[in-house]
Structure 1
Amino acid sequence: MANHKKISLRKCVISQQMLPKKELVRIVKTSNGEIIIDPNGKANGRGAYLRPTLEIYEKAKKSNVLERALKTKLTNQFYEMLYREISEGWD
């Protein structure tokens, strides 16, 4: 019997699609209230996942879905950092 590794799925908070965790960007609100982009997906805190496309980025910026998911206000500086991460190619 072949050993198949289980693929962890997560839901994009904007598109509501279930996708492999490695294909999504994780944004975390840490215990001290700092908002970070978590490239490894292992940081402690409240997390939300986004598909790393400019279309999803635009929807996230226009709506308050990401802010509701993280239960905090997001700054323009954070959105600029997120835009750079996505446009430079998320890995």
Structure 2
Amino acid sequence: MAKNKTQFRKRKIPMRQDIVSGQMLPKKDLLRIVKADDQLLHLDPSGKVNGHGAYISVDVTLAKKAKTEKILDAVFEMPVPNDFYDQLIDWVDHQQARKELFSHEQIIKAKNS
């Protein structure tokens, strides 16, 4: 039987492993941290910066756990300053708050429709 052209292919969702929890999660729900050629770490929300990357979930508790257990030090095999961990926690906290705010606004719009 010939396939109907109106049928859509199921798209593959790229999955990556969270370095703190070890869970496989959709790539879009994670933040990429990159060790670039200059041997510095950078936050890479776009996921396009060249270099060795690792993924962490956008969850404040996991970001704080990464800081207390110095997980990035082990992953990138270099000492990571506490300032970078603080920057990571701030970014994750901001994104988590944004996500909650916009999901709340979408619920309100859906109720009013």
Aligned equivalents of 2:21, 2:78: Cα separation in 1: 20
Rg (Cα) greater in structure: 2
Alignment partner, residue 83 of structure 2? 77
Alignment partner, residue 36 of structure 1? 42
TM-score, normalised via structure 2 length: 0.74
Aligned equivalents of 1:58, 1:84: Cα separation in 2: 10
1:1-91 to structure 2, matched below 5 A, reads 1-89=7-95
Q: Between the two structures, name the one with larger relative contact order (CA 8 Å, sep ≥ 6).
A: 1
Q: Deviations over 1:21-52 (max 9, x none)?
A: 00001100001101100011111111111111
Aligned equivalents of 1:8, 1:25: Cα separation in 2: 14
What percent identity do the matched residue pairs reach? 35
Where does structure 1 lack aligned partners over 5 or more consecutive residues?
none
Aligned equivalents of 2:50, 2:37: Cα separation in 1: 8
Amino acid at match of 1:88: H
Q: Deviations over 1:3-30 (max 9, x none)?
A: 2221110000110000000000110000
Q: Which has the higher helix share?
A: 2
TM-score, normalised via structure 1 length: 0.91
CA RMSD in angstroms comes to 1.4
Q: Give runs of ≥4 in structure 1 deviating > 3 Å.
A: none
Tell me the SS of whatever aligns to 1:67. helix
Tell me the SS of whatever aligns to 1:89. helix
Where does structure 2 lack aligned partners over 5 or more consecutive residues?
1-6, 100-113
Aligned equivalents of 1:4, 1:73: Cα separation in 2: 42
